[in-house]
Amino acid sequence: MSIKEPDQSVWNRFWQRKNDMDKVYPSSPSIMNAIKKNFKLEGLKVLEVGAGTGRDSAELARLGADVYVLDFAENSLKIVDSLRAKENLYGNLKLVRGDAFKAPFPDCTFDLVFHQGLAEHFKDSLPLLKENYRILKHGGCCLCDVPQTVHPYTIIKHILIAMDKWFAGWEKQFTMPQLKKLMKDAGFVCEYAYGDWMRPNLYYRILRELGFKFGVELPKYPLQGTLYQKAKDALLDALQSNSLMHYTQLCIGVLGRKP
């Protein structure tokens, strides 16, 4: 099977269909948890690459970080801009249209660069991480979050790719050792790793997407606020950094520091 990386037109179409943020699930909560755990946010100079809806960037801006969003999909930036306007975040949330492999920033610009759902879309992800390395200050960090290999999501995804029905055309995945090696090959020292399960789970999300096709909108979080959900989330939070659990989680992330 030939590999065709998604281009700008693919992402513009995708984000045009996903412009109602109330229907779109946010990224893994572990991304923000990892950032909050490892950084003092006030005045932190941050870049999110391939931001999608930009909700994580908006939260960081609300918490006092100086945040830039880089994306080459115009429709993604329109979504982020509407969020910025709604919350009046013009002072510390800046939008930049550009190529992640040739970022329009000088060397040693940022304290933190992060991305989720990006590195897996390229046959060779190393140049992306090396570009992240270039624009980071010495001592700055890159957080890379990707799909994890040993998960039913991978099987479903590759069936859809073979049928030419996958939204992005093609996508790969990583084990935790593979992701750590990628980060090390780019020059980073790996300092923190995490994983997270999909919440709500994959099967409910598939059911919800099918519902949209028939004009039925199921709740985004069907059991939110219940004792069951609180207990389940507490258990998952307690287990998410266990190395064995990284082989069961939907997504994994590594935080690497530039020496």
pLDDT score for 18:
62
DSSP per position, 54-77: -HHHHHHHHTT-EEEEEES-HHHH
pLDDT score for 98:
95
pLDDT score for 27:
76
- In this prediction, the residues of the chain whose per-residue pLDDT falls under 70 are 1-4, 6-23
Cis before 200? omega within 30: yes
pLDDT score for 241:
79
- Sequence-ordered list of residues with C-beta below 8 angstroms from that of 224, at least 6 positions apart, any chain: none
pTM: 0.90
In a 10 Å sphere around its CB, with 0-12 CB exposed, 13-18 middle and 19+ buried, how is residue 177 labelled? exposed
* 8-197+240-257 CATH fold: Rossmann fold (3.40.50)
Residue 246, SS3 per DSSP: helix
Helices (H), 41-122: 55-62, 74-87
Q: Which of 114, 115, 113, 111 is nearest to 137 (CA)?
A: 111
Q: What are phi and psi of 137, to 5 degrees?
A: -65, 155
